[in-house]
Chains A and B, each alone.
Chain A
């Protein structure tokens, strides 16, 4: 059977999935008694219509790019890493330790050190499930999801008992040293004499995310290791035949994956909160799975899917504000529908479209 044209695979099918998700979401909005088209307009306008909205949208997208890439890299080795959440949490710990205890003279020095720490901590957290998978055959899905719970408990313990300054009520760390604060979009645009609103948390980490997209593309499609990872992902038996070590592939792909998930914390912890919060990951670890699925594990696709989910997050918040009848829970339902259709139910559309194209092709011949 011939494979689908690339354009259909990468563009048409995700678009149809998205349309289906919006149609059902629209029905939900109609059920509440609101106009779905106006809701749509509010979401789009609220997320993309102004620099303010865009600032929030891209801030969220930054999180999803990192966690999406994390899932995508592991996917190429047929490893389903659903531990992005926990890896990002531990990565956040790494970021926080760097920013709490060293008097940084300038962010430009703190930034690379924090990047290393975040990646290293995230990778450490994925290394244990990876080792167990490679050596003992413990299924990566089970171990990584369990490690999410361990990470969460670890965070609570550390924040309540160790990192929380004395006399403070909230379970969060002290504020980071001033020299570690990353430039926001407002400041960056200021350097070039341009204006960008002050409140959106969009910061320089977005550029790091774009760089990560390019580097991961290079890694997967241009390096020997990426070649070996993809080969292993398609067929483990063939990889062994070719002299590729499964242990190495599982370890490398999961370390890179955990590292990327850890990097997500740079955006939220160092770029926005400037302290370690108990929920510094904000569920991005799980949205990353949807971004990777929708983006077909390709960095460009992950980028676009991440922006889409950014739109839903920011636009959803606006919708909640503008349409009080649509409650916070409804927004979550709409987001969940998009994730369901673009991620989990991907084959729902793929199979019939594939058949349709086959028919069209035969007719032409």
Chain B
């Protein structure tokens, strides 16, 4: 790798950005950004949410026009005004959320927009030949006639990469590509990326997972508050340094957590089964319990029943089975199973999706502080009227306590940053002193500084004796918070571990669906995969 880098250093860089500046209204998303990426290298861009990574890539791909600055592709000044120009310049992008037509075949998706003819058959035939060449060259095998909806997420991503290669991309931009992948699929993706770079393709990888940066990139740039603060050789840095550069100060990647005395079973769930509207069973008779002062982590790749679990326990969707709080049964369907009854029984719920569920974005912060608890006496003046002034006061003190910026209750929820929005939800739910807290993806899209704070608050609640069910797709988060871990795969709990007595690779196998019927079995499978 080093030799090829050295070779290309003498030539013009594949991508060069000079003085890129872009602002949206009063927000400067990119400030005077300079970047050089040499041909055939894998370049990582890391930064907190809102640091300007996506904006920069959108400028490179022609979604946005920069206010000033120049883009050179392979030494030539290139004016990228839209994504067609980007494709012409040899830039391909793999979006975080795939842009595929679900009920089209792989081939149909690959040629989409490049049919160049009234009939699509010539393009399809052409693509079929090219695809098989690409597949063997980069180990990107995928059945060209399969429907997208029948493919696994990992294969769908391959289709996205193939789409870009079919359009003769020399530069590939991947935006958070591993968010939806199992560890094994992610490793396979990295192999593909290395293959591509060996063949001379230039790759830009946007991620917030430092482990991936270390594993696959040659060089890495750190963005902070719209500025590109540093560019480093990956081999000369480490995750701790990168994390500090991202935040601008040193951070604790793991929260200090002392052992607590666990008490009686506070939350008991038996044979929980959820069948969705299409008749698909998404949760298959799962049972577990959480004790007082304990955090049970639910790990797993997104889409294996986590959302359904949270929504069933939170009273959003009806489910079959039994749920007990401190020994008292509360219904999971029918009368008394709605979210309000759950709250009245001491169950607080921090939802996965704060914008769709947890907040009314067009409400003021203070209105959101009472959201879901608006029937409680403390928020009301009498039987009919709410006590708006008192809610404002409560909101102000909670916002100070949770370090929500700005601490002004009269700001609309949508005008807060992601991390502060999450803190509003957290402040509301934790201030109810719940017996049971169910929390989903508490730090998704939240910057590192706020992650630390949110983790500490969750630990504090555990130390006060609450039972906490933590659902997260971030293994790091599961490891730093939970006392026990259960892994969800395909709607079932496929295994359970004490956090201290397990490791990422063991959980990774479980997340990939490799069951452990007994200790010996799991050892065998582990050996086999190694």
Q: Give residues in A with beta carbon < 8 Å to B.
A: 1-3, 218, 222-224, 227-228, 230-231, 234-235, 237-238, 240-245, 358, 361-362, 365
Q: Of the candidates B24, B356, B362, B371, which one forms a contact with A237 in the assembled complex, judged by CB atoms under 8 Å apart?
A: B356
CA–CA, A14 to B357, complex, Å? 33
Q: Of the candidates A2, A222, A227, A358, which one forms a contact with B367 in the assembled complex, judged by CB atoms under 8 Å apart?
A: A227
Q: Which residues on A sit within 8 Å (CB–CB) of B339?
A: 240-243
Give the residue among B25, B314, B315, B361 with the most A Cβ atoms within 10 A.
Answer: B25
Cβ distance A131 to chain B, nearest Cβ, rounded Å: 20
Complex: chain B residue closest to A235, CB-CB: B360
The yes or no answer to B210 lying at the interface (CB within 8 A) is no
Q: Which residues on A sit within 8 Å (CB–CB) of B338?
A: 243, 245
CA–CA, A2 to B415, complex, Å? 7
Complex: chain B residue closest to A239, CB-CB: B360
Complex: chain A residue closest to B344, CB-CB: A243
Q: Of the candidates A3, A238, A362, which one forms a contact with B357 in the assembled complex, judged by CB atoms under 8 Å apart?
A: A238
The yes or no answer to B380 lying at the interface (CB within 8 A) is yes
Q: Of the candidates B23, B316, B367, which one forms a contact with A241 in the assembled complex, judged by CB atoms under 8 Å apart?
A: B316
CA–CA, A237 to B412, complex, Å? 19
Cβ distance B326 to chain A, nearest Cβ, rounded Å: 20
Q: Which residues on A sit within 8 Å (CB–CB) of B324?
A: none
Cβ distance A133 to chain B, nearest Cβ, rounded Å: 18
The yes or no answer to B97 lying at the interface (CB within 8 A) is no
Q: Which residues on A sit within 8 Å (CB–CB) of B388?
A: 222
The yes or no answer to B341 lying at the interface (CB within 8 A) is yes
Instruction: Flag if B26 contacts A241 (CB, 8 Å).
Output: no
A–B pairs, 29, beta carbons within 8 Å: A1-B25, A2-B25, A2-B26, A2-B415, A3-B412, A223-B386, A224-B375, A224-B385, A227-B386, A230-B360, A235-B356, A235-B360, A235-B361, A237-B356, A237-B357, A238-B358, A238-B371, A240-B339, A241-B339, A241-B349, A241-B358, A242-B374, A243-B342, A244-B340, A245-B338, A358-B25, A361-B26, A362-B23, A362-B26
Instruction: Flag if A361 contacts B25 (CB, 8 Å).
Output: yes
Q: Which residues on B sit within 8 Å (CB–CB) of A223?
A: 384-386
Q: Which residues on B sit within 8 Å (CB–CB) of A230?
A: 360, 363
Instruction: Flag if A241 contacts B372 (CB, 8 Å).
Output: yes
CA–CA, A183 to B349, complex, Å? 56
The yes or no answer to B291 lying at the interface (CB within 8 A) is no
Instruction: Flag if B372 contacts A242 (CB, 8 Å).
Output: yes
Instruction: Flag if B374 contacts A228 (CB, 8 Å).
Output: yes
Instruction: Flag if A227 contacts B374 (CB, 8 Å).
Output: yes
Q: Which of B353-399 contact A (CB under 8 A)?
A: 356-363, 367, 370-372, 374-375, 380, 384-386, 388
Instruction: Flag if B349 contacts A231 (CB, 8 Å).
Output: no
Cβ distance A360 to chain B, nearest Cβ, rounded Å: 10
Cβ distance B215 to chain A, nearest Cβ, rounded Å: 37
Q: Which residues on B sit within 8 Å (CB–CB) of A1?
A: 24-25
Give the residue among B315, B357, B380 with the most A Cβ atoms within 10 A.
Answer: B357
The yes or no answer to B434 lying at the interface (CB within 8 A) is no
The yes or no answer to B351 lying at the interface (CB within 8 A) is yes
Interchain residue pairs A-B with the least CB separation, the first 5 = A243-B340, A243-B339, A242-B372, A241-B357, A358-B25
Q: A240-B339, A243-B338, A243-B372 are in contact. Are A224 and B380 (CB under 8 A)?
A: yes
Instruction: Flag if A238 contacts B356 (CB, 8 Å).
Output: yes
Instruction: Flag if A238 contacts B316 (CB, 8 Å).
Output: no
Q: Which of B61-92 contact A (CB under 8 A)?
A: none
Q: Of the candidates B25, B314, B340, B367, which one forms a contact with A362 in the assembled complex, judged by CB atoms under 8 Å apart?
A: B25
Q: A223-B385, A223-B386, A234-B362 are in contact. Are A242 and B371 (CB under 8 A)?
A: yes
Cβ distance B454 to chain A, nearest Cβ, rounded Å: 19
Cβ distance A308 to chain B, nearest Cβ, rounded Å: 26
Q: Which residues on B sit within 8 Å (CB–CB) of A224?
A: 374-375, 380, 384-386
Further contacts, 10 of them, CB under 8 A, given A242-B339, A244-B340:
A1-B25, A223-B384, A227-B370, A234-B360, A237-B356, A238-B358, A240-B339, A241-B314, A241-B316, A243-B341
Q: Which residues on A sit within 8 Å (CB–CB) of B24?
A: 1
Complex: chain B residue closest to A223, CB-CB: B384
Q: Which residues on A sit within 8 Å (CB–CB) of B362?
A: 234
Q: A2-B25, A237-B357, A241-B357 are in contact. Are A231 and B415 (CB under 8 A)?
A: no
Instruction: Flag if B385 contacts A222 (CB, 8 Å).
Output: yes
The yes or no answer to B343 lying at the interface (CB within 8 A) is yes
Q: Which residues on A sit within 8 Å (CB–CB) of B415?
A: 2-3
Q: A1-B25, A243-B372, A362-B23 are in contact. Are A238 and B359 (CB under 8 A)?
A: yes
Complex: chain B residue closest to A231, CB-CB: B360
CA–CA, A228 to B374, complex, Å? 9
Cβ distance B99 to chain A, nearest Cβ, rounded Å: 24
Q: Which residues on A sit within 8 Å (CB–CB) of B26?
A: 2, 358, 361-362, 365
Instruction: Flag if B371 contacts A231 (CB, 8 Å).
Output: yes
CA–CA, A235 to B360, complex, Å? 7
Q: Which residues on B sit within 8 Å (CB–CB) of A244?
A: 340
CA–CA, A358 to B380, complex, Å? 38
Q: Which residues on A sit within 8 Å (CB–CB) of B342?
A: 243
Q: Which residues on A sit within 8 Å (CB–CB) of B371?
A: 231, 238, 242
CA–CA, A2 to B349, complex, Å? 29
Q: Which residues on B sit within 8 Å (CB–CB) of A227?
A: 367, 370, 374, 386
Complex: chain B residue closest to A358, CB-CB: B25
Cβ distance A297 to chain B, nearest Cβ, rounded Å: 13
Give the residue among A1, A237, A243 with the most B Cβ atoms within 10 A.
Answer: A243
Cβ distance A361 to chain B, nearest Cβ, rounded Å: 6
Complex: chain A residue closest to B343, CB-CB: A243
Cβ distance A261 to chain B, nearest Cβ, rounded Å: 23
Q: Which residues on A sit within 8 Å (CB–CB) of B374?
A: 224, 227-228, 242
Q: Which residues on B sit within 8 Å (CB–CB) of A243?
A: 315, 338-343, 372
Give the residue among A3, A241, A242, A361 with the most B Cβ atoms within 10 A.
Answer: A242
